[in-house]
Each structure stands twice: as C-alpha cells, then as structure tokens.
Amino acid sequence: MSDKQGHVLQVSCLHVKVKTAHGHLSLVKGVEFALKPGRVLGFVGESGSGKSVTSLSILQLLDRKSTVVEGSIQLNGRELNGLHAEEMRRIRGKEIALIMQNPMNAFSPVFTIGDQFVETIRTHTGFGKKQAAELAADALHDVNLPDPAALMRRYPFELSGGMLQRVMIANAMCLQPSVLIADEPTTALDAANQLQVLRQLERIRSDYGTAILLISHDLGVISEMADEVAVMQQGRIVEKADVFELFDHPQHAYTKMLLDDRLTLPIHQPAQELVLS
Ligand SMILES: Nc1ncnc2c1ncn2[C@@H]1O[C@H](COP(=O)(O)OP(=O)(O)OP(=O)(O)O)[C@@H](O)[C@H]1O
C-alpha cells in the first residue's frame, strides 16, 4: 500500500544525532527522498558520509539510548520513526528488509541455516514448519544454491560470504518486502558472486515490485542497477538525479569529483562486466 503520491517509502527531514560526552554530534542532516514500487535508488558517497546511519535509522536499528532520530520515515503510509520496538520487529523483514555487506552478522552461529530461515518465515507468515521449510527450500533453489535440503542443515560458518548473501536474498524473496535496503551487498564478493547477487536483486525488483535502496561504493553497480542516484557528503544529500542525468551531467562539485575519481582510480568491477541478463 503506497501513499497518495505512490511512494512506498518517504523519508523527510531526517536528522540523526549521536549523544557524546560533549553534546550531540550530527551524523545525518536533513535527508529527504522517496521511493516508488519497483524503483532502485542508489546511494553513493565517501566513507563516513552517513549512508549506513541513514539506512539503519530507517530500519529503526540504531541504539535508541545513544542516538536521536528526528524527521519522518513513512513506510506504506505509516510512520516508523518512534514506533514501538515490538511493532518494528513485525515490520522488519516482512515489509522492509536489509541485506548487509557482511552477511555473517545477520545469522546466529548456533542455529542451522534452515532453522533460522524457517523461523523467519514462520514469524512473519504464520506458516507451519513443513510449509515454511518447503518455501525456504524453493527460495534457495531459486537463487541457484545447490542442494537446498543439505544446505539447510549447515551452519552459517560452513558457507561462503557469497552463499550467505544469497540465503539472505532468498529470505527476502519469500517475504516479498515493499522495500529492500541493500548496504554494500556486493563489496565483499568476488566477481562471479557479485553478478549472481545483482541478478537476484533485479529479480526481486521485477518479480515483486520491491523498491530497493542500494548503497554502494561501486559506481559500476550503481549505473547498472539504479534508476535514480543520491550523492551523500558529510551527512547530507548534495545531489539527487536520474541515473543517466547524474552520470552525464553531474551538477555538484563533489559528484564531479566522484565521477572523475572513477576514471583515475581502479574501481571494484568494470561496469561492462556487470551487465545483467
Ligand atoms: N554509533 C555511532 N557513534 C558515533 N559515531 C557514529 C556512530 N555510527 C556511525 N558514526 C559515524 O557516523 C558517520 C557516518 O557513518 P556511516 O557508517 O553512516 O558512513 P557510510 O557513509 O555508511 O560509510 P561507509 O561507506 O564506510 O560504510 C561516520 O563518521 C561514523 O564514524
């Protein structure tokens, strides 16, 4: 269910401050953007510019004691900022999901992949164990993971980063969230796994109309996947534009510098190798 303008996610006037011994330190300053179903917004910017803090504040995952989140975060027309933690747990995963750079952090080391996957599905759907296990196995098969039944009996440390990343994507596929936040989803992966992960993200977008907030240092990935790009610098969005417009006619000096750096620095992966089929 989107709002009147058709947005599934609308972030307005978002400020995030962290409490320090010397007062409040501003990490995110007046960030605004909106996402429509099936659209991909790329988030780029130097390390420390506030991309992850922005995404964690949307998911209400920042420590409530040490941070202050101000502004509005509307998901399907419902305000998330300040929502009760229990209510937020019901929404996370089901309506808005996160895929992070280091997928090992997303899994408990003491339960098998299957236990965790099935539990997540059951929490959000009310399915029985058998039904949830079948859905999980189908989803793992869908992301090209071999022998899903055997894989579900394994523990996270027995899988590579690329495999875990695909398990997280399979998870998201089962729950079909309105919004998926992918925070550097390919950075830790080799070229073959990067491509697989990007293809799966593209499938989630096209099959389920999931809107994706894609955070990446890799301008090749952004240019392939994003419809629109927001450039962050020191906690602010300094430029936001259609992807072609931004790459062809960057307006802000910082965006120009990022694009110039791309030409002089070795980038993570040449764009032409990331063409999605
Ligand atoms: N809990 C915290 N307390 C204090 N400062 C923090 C906290 N979390 C993040 N920061 C600071 O906030 C700023 C933004 O961090 P953030 O992780 O959002 O950057 P980023 O753009 O995602 O960087 P990267 O691309 O390296 O992941 C950084 O200066 C970081 O050191």
The conformational region for residue 183 under phi > 0 = left, psi -120 to 50 = alpha, else beta, is: beta
Q: Is the dihedral of CA 58, 224, 248, 245 positive or negative?
A: negative
Report the residue among 15, 27, 54 best suited for mutation to probe ligand 1: largest number of ligand atoms under 8 A from its CB. 27
> Computed over its alpha carbons, how large is the radius of gyration of the chain?
19
CA of 196 to the centre of ligand 1 (A): 28
Q: Note whether residue 77 is domain-resident.
A: no
Residues having CB closer than 6 A to ligand 1 are 18, 27, 45, 47-53
Report the residue among 20, 52, 268 best suited for mutation to probe ligand 1: largest number of ligand atoms under 8 A from its CB. 52
Q: Note whether residue 30 is domain-resident.
A: no
Q: Note whether residue 4 is domain-resident.
A: no
Domain housing 264: 37-68+84-274
pLDDT tens, the chain, 277 aa long: 666 678 999 999 999 999 988 889 999 999 999 999 999 999 999 889 999 999 999 999 999 899 999 999 999 999 999 999 889 988 988 899 988 877 788 889 999 999 999 998 898 888 899 999 999 998 898 888 889 999 999 999 999 888 888 898 888 888 889 999 999 988 877 787 788 888 889 999 999 999 999 999 888 899 999 999 999 999 999 999 999 999 999 999 999 998 887 755 444 444 334 444 3
The Cα–Cα gap between 133 and 170 comes to 12
CA of 101 to the centre of ligand 1 (A): 14
CA of 140 to the centre of ligand 1 (A): 33
Q: Note whether residue 111 is domain-resident.
A: yes
How many other C-beta atoms lie within 10 A of the C-beta of residue 239? Answer: 21
Give me the CATH number covering residue 55.
Answer: 3.40.50.300
Work out how many domains the chain is built from and give that number.
1
Which ligand 1 atom sits closest to the C-alpha of 62? 1
Quote the pLDDT of residue 275.
41
Quote the pLDDT of residue 192.
78
Q: Is the complex ipTM more than 0.90?
A: yes
Both tokens assigned to 43: 């988030």
Q: What is the pTM of this model?
A: 0.87
Q: Note whether residue 123 is domain-resident.
A: yes
User: Which strand ranges, in their side-by-side order, compose the sheet holding 40-45?
Assistant: 96-99, 179-183, 211-215, 40-45, 228-233, 236-242
The Cα–Cα gap between 95 and 207 comes to 16
Q: Note whether residue 219 is domain-resident.
A: yes
Q: Note whether residue 28 is domain-resident.
A: no
For ligand 1, atom 28: residue with the closest CA: 48
CA of 19 to the centre of ligand 1 (A): 14
Q: Note whether residue 186 is domain-resident.
A: yes
